[in-house]
């Protein structure tokens, strides 16, 4: 993804008002539950922590960072505190939050990790510990270390990530530390396209499904994001689309595209709620001057492939 304050039509001051309790939601993380409440995280100044209210709206509860780790500026000097595309996973008694440190149009990037006991800012146990850098990329790399997405599978922890360049990558993490299992190892290449980012991997009926975004984000109603998918019998690939084309060769079966007021659906994940699966994603609202927001649509499986239904939140 690219930062909203660079490319969206609306003025920057309107995009990220710190006193707005209902912020624009972009690059939503996996949606999770903690102590009876529903939470997610979003791109923003210091990463927005959002809590779902009874009426379904998402309210900003806190920011993960008020003070940034020193390594951010050392590793990515061009970053100015606007952190992108977080994801979250539970490990033991702690939450792990992964996030992107980068700048527009550059692969001088890094993925960082913080951990905390609770997501509730009102709890005495609330607070985040910097766990450091997970992986970084530099100009001579053919990948971009942003857009992390986590998956636990049989006690093993995997992180997919990537944006443009050679596309989507995968690394294995140490499930005890959350950091790279083999520091310095070469990422596994999963998918390539001219405009690709925001991966998410899930498992269903013995298959691994790799969801990705094609197109451009962050342009309000001019955004061209759409969600594509491929599947594999191994988490490491190869991932093929419905026609049998490898995602590394530009394959990808369409899952969701712009429709009516819902422009540029992107940054997918899956949530199970009330016994049904929902495809979580952001979109740009044509009826609200391109405001970015979160939507969840019913997800069904037809002949071994995901399909979205009507309705949802």
Active site residue ranges: 27, 197
| Residue ranges in 40-192 assigned as alpha helix (H) | 70-75
CA distance 117 to 120: 9
**Residue 222 exposure: Cα atoms within 13 Å on the Cβ side:** 7
CA distance 134 to 88: 14
Going across the sheet that includes 48-52, the strands are 32-34, 37-42, 48-52, 58-63
Q: Classify the C-alpha dihedral 17-62-48-306 as positive or negative.
A: negative
Q: Classify the C-alpha dihedral 148-300-194-1 as positive or negative.
A: negative
Beta carbons of 257 and 265 less than 8 angstroms apart: yes
3-class DSSP assignment, residue 111: strand
CA distance 43 to 246: 30
Computed on alpha carbons and rounded to an integer, the radius of gyration of the chain in Å comes to 18
Give me the residues paired with residue 96 across strands: 89, 115
Determine whether 275 is exposed, middle or buried from the number of CB atoms within 10 Å of its CB (0-12, 13-18, 19+).
Answer: exposed
């Amino acid at each position: 993804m690219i930062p909203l304050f660079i490319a969206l039509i609306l003025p920057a001051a309107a995009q990220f008002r710190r006193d707005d309790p209902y912020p624009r939601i972009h690059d939503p993380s996996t949606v999770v539950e903690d102590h009876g409440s529903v939470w997610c995280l979003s791109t923003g100044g210091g990463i927005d922590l959002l809590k779902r209210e009874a009426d379904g709206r998402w309210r900003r509860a806190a920011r993960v960072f008020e003070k940034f780790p020193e390594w951010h500026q050392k590793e990515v000097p061009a970053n100015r505190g606007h952190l992108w595309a977080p994801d979250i996973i539970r490990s033991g008694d702690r939450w792990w939050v992964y996030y992107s440190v980068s700048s527009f149009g550059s692969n001088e990037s890094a993925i960082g990790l913080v951990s905390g006991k609770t997501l509730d800012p009102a709890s005495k146990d609330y607070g985040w510990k910097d766990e450091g850098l997970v992986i970084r990329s530099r100009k001579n790399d053919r990948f971009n270390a942003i857009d992390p997405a986590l998956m636990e599978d049989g006690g093993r922890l995997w992180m997919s990530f990537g944006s443009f360049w050679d596309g989507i990558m995968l690394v294995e993490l140490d499930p005890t530390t959350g950091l790279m299992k083999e520091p310095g190892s070469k990422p596994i290449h999963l998918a390539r396209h001219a405009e690709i980012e925001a991966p998410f991997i899930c498992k269903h009926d013995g298959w691994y499904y790799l969801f990705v975004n094609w197109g451009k984000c962050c342009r309000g109603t001019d955004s061209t994001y759409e969600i594509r998918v491929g599947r594999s019998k191994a988490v490491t690939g190869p991932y093929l689309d419905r026609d049998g084309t490898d995602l590394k060769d530009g394959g990808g079966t369409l899952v969701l595209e712009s429709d009516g007021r819902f422009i540029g659906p992107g940054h997918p994940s899956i949530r199970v709620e009330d016994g049904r699966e929902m495809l979580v994603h952001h979109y740009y609202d044509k009826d609200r001057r391109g405001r970015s927001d979160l939507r969840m649509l019913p997800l069904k499986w037809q002949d071994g492939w995901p399909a979205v239904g009507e309705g949802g939140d």
